[in-house]
Amino acid sequence: MIPVFEPDIGEAEISAVVEALRRGEISGMFGRCIPDFERAFANYCGCRYGVAVSSGTAALHLAVAAAGIGPGDEVLVSASTNIATALAAYHNGAVPVPVDSEEVTWNLNLDLVEALISPKTKAIIPVHLFGHPVDMDRLLEIAHRHNLMVIEDCAESHGATVRGRMTGSFGQMGCFSFYANKIITTGEGGMVVTNDADLAEKLRLLRNLAFTKPRFRHEEPGYNFRMTGYQAAMGLAQLRKIHQVIAGKRRMAHSYHRHLNGILGLQLPTELDWAFNVYWMYAVVVKPKFGITRDQLAKRLAADGIETRTFFCPMNQQPFLRARPGFRDVPCPVADRLWETGLYWPSTHTLSDENILQVVNSVRRAGR
């Protein structure tokens, strides 16, 4: 089976982790790896501060908590996203309100945002889906007008830019995941980046059980969302390769484009003229003109030894969100359709030309 994604862990990561362990950098209390990784990654994103955490989910949860968002508040989120985006609002006691997708990049449709803002709306969490950025200049303009906080979900967009500026540096906070299949990985892990010194301090406090003085007496409820030192050591080794990884993703995507462009009924990922897409995953939408359905295509690909995954089930369809008091039943017809018709296939940055051709040939055969 050609997997949708394969981790690329080399000798540099292995020795970085082993050396960190030898120095006793087992948790954040010891050594330099965590502050070094935080500084280096924040700097990569064009931000002043980085707060390393245990996952992308934790990063989002912590950012919403640090923003002071809680019961009685609403948070606008991309409808088409990993559940972690909505959970950040949900577990802080707020109601996530889905914003439907647009048809070209599959990101949240900025034309729909203003009509969804209510007196309860405190923040918006845009997701840079599959590596294509949201038009953050436009989104910030809307957010400023309505005094909304912006927390970017950059779990899939490390290195993606909008008019040359890094995703993660637009909102008050940007949240990254370093899960195994992300652009860079620490196995599990995440980071919140920000330019706001007060928010950085709050994030650090809440990440570490909100310890203050005297120790063991707590003014507020915190979390243990700490990263280990040896994960940060791995993150530093991965960060040295990030340009290579992104170049590999773009090579993979351009190669698929070249071979598949023009196939009737197959919508390929795009790159708008102001955007730099890092193609975290090569995602396509199967339209009626393709001749067979998305599920039939997935079956044909599986029969040829090619793994696929569907797009996300949108937030408007999640049973536990629908059951929450205060849930707003916003129709999301585009996100609904993407869930039915979208899939992604092998997208590793080191994918061989031979494997790319295998996928291409299998898709071409299936579409006939």
- Residue ranges in contact with ligand PLP by CB under 6 A: 55-57, 81-82, 84-85, 127, 153, 155-156, 177, 179, 190
DSSP 14-65: HHHHHHHHHTT--STTSSSHHHHHHHHHHHHHT-SEEEEES-HHHHHHHHHH
- Closer residue to ligand PLP in complex, CB, 55/101: 55
136-148 exposure pattern, b = at least 16 Cβ within 10 A, e = fewer: beebbebbeeeeb
- The 10 Å Cβ neighbour count of residue 260 is 17
In whole angstroms, how close is the CB of 179 to ligand PLP at the nearest point?
4
Q: How far is CA 33 from the centre of its chain?
A: 23
Least separation in angstroms between residue 227's CB and ligand PLP is: 11
- Tell me how far apart the alpha carbons of residues 367 and 100 are, in angstroms, rounded to a whole number: 29
Helix-then-strand count for the chain, H and E: 13, 14
Q: How far is the CB of 173 from ligand PLP (least distance, A)?
A: 14
When the beta carbons of 60 and 363 are compared against ligand PLP, the nearer one is 60
> Judged by CB, which is closer to ligand PLP: 79, or 127?
127
Strand partners, 124: 76, 150
Which is closer to ligand PLP, CB of 338 or CB of 366?
338
CA-closest candidate to residue 64, choices 177, 150, 140, 137 = 150
Residue nearer to ligand PLP on the CB measure, 55 or 277: 55
Question: Quick one: tokens of 150?
Answer: 């912006």
The residue among 5 and 290 lying less far from ligand PLP, judged by its C-beta, is 5
Task: Find out whether 241 and 247 touch, Cβ atoms under 8 Å.
Answer: no
Neighbours of 1 (CB within 10 A): 9
Q: At what angle do helices 56-66 and 83-90 cross, to 10 degrees?
A: 30
| Position of minimal CB gap to ligand PLP | 56
**Alpha-carbon distance 95 to 72, whole Å?**
8
Question: Which is nearer to ligand PLP, 190 or 342 (by Cβ)?
Answer: 190
Minimum distance, C-beta of residue 143 to ligand PLP, in the bound complex (Å): 19
Inter-residue contact 129 to 277 (CB < 8 Å): no
Closer CB to ligand PLP, 179 or 230, in the complex = 179
Least distance in angstroms from the C-beta of 188 to ligand PLP: 6
CB within 8 A of 24, min separation 6: which ones? Answer: 30, 31
Which residue, among 160, 135, 181, 142, has the nearest Cα to 7 in the 3D structure? 181
Q: How far out from the chain centre does Cα 40 lie?
A: 19
Q: Long-range contacts made by residues 197-205, C-beta under 8 angstroms, separation at least 24?
A: 197/48, 197/49, 199/49, 199/66, 199/67, 199/172, 199/173, 200/48, 200/49, 200/51, 202/66, 203/51, 203/62, 203/63, 203/66, 203/173, 204/51
Write down the least CB distance from residue 45 to ligand PLP, Å: 16
Nearer to ligand PLP (CB atom), residue 157 or residue 362 = 157
What is the closest distance, in whole angstroms, from the C-beta atom of residue 24 to ligand PLP in the complex? 26
Which is closer to ligand PLP, CB of 283 or CB of 297?
283
Q: How far is the CB of 166 from ligand PLP (least distance, A)?
A: 17
Least separation, in Å, of the C-beta of 149 and ligand PLP?
A: 17
**Smallest distance, Å, CB 155 to ligand PLP?**
3
